[in-house]
């Protein structure tokens, strides 16, 4: 069970360090432990870690992604607008991160050791891709690509 896997002192100590740095969204918190288990989103994983550390409240914009995951629908809308000009059967989402977001991620990995982490870009591509799939009924493949910058 995921809760049991995350309820280890090593994991909780890393989570405490992360939360000490400032406000962090559940996506970014959970992504730091992505390699611990599969079959659950990073957002849910982050919620569980936060629950295990009772009193770990989220106030303010996430310092790691700068609120990017709160804006996913906006990025999906932009992608869908671009895609509306084309006929296609499948797609692949690729994103470019700003230097600030890349620096924040490097800082996080320096802090936590990145032992269990998944890159921000991987989660962003996946989450945007899932929303585009739902909106269009098209499927992701490795041949096509759209690019969004943040």
pLDDT digits (tens, 9 = 90+) for 41-87: 999 999 999 999 876 666 789 999 999 999 999 999 999 999 999 88
Instruction: Give residue-wise pLDDT tens across range 92-126.
Output: 888 889 999 999 999 999 988 888 999 999 999 99
Q: Which residue spans within 2-130 are E strands per DSSP?
A: 90-91, 93-96
Strand partners, 139: 90
pLDDT at 2: 72
pLDDT at 130: 93
How many alpha carbons lie under 13 Å from residue 136 in its C-beta half-sphere?
24
HEC string for 40-74: CCHHHHHHHHHHHCCCCCCCCCCCCCCCHHHHHHH
Grade residue 147 by pLDDT with cuts at 50, 70 and 90. Answer: low
The closest of 55, 4, 10, 47 to 29, measured between CA atoms, is 47
**What residues have CB less than 8 Å from 15, skipping those under 6 apart?**
29, 32, 33, 49, 50, 52, 53, 56
Query: 119 by DSSP, 3-state: which?
Result: coil
The encoded tokens of residue 109 equal: 């990995």
């Amino acid at each position: 069970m995921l809760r049991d896997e995350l309820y280890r002192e090593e994991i909780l100590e890393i989570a405490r360090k992360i939360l000490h740095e400032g406000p962090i969204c559940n996506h970014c918190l959970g992504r730091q432990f992505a390699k611990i288990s599969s079959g659950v989103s990073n957002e849910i994983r982050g919620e569980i870690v936060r629950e295990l550390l009772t009193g770990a409240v989220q106030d303010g914009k996430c310092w790691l992604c700068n609120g990017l995951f709160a804006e996913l629908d906006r990025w999906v809308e932009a992608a869908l607008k671009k895609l509306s000009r084309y006929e296609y059967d499948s797609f692949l989402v690729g994103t470019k991160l700003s230097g600030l977001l890349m620096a924040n991620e490097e800082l996080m990995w320096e802090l936590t050791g990145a032992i269990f982490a998944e890159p921000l870009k991987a989660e962003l591509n996946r989450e945007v891709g899932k929303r585009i799939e739902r909106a269009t009924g098209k499927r992701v493949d490795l041949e096509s690509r759209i690019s969004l910058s943040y």
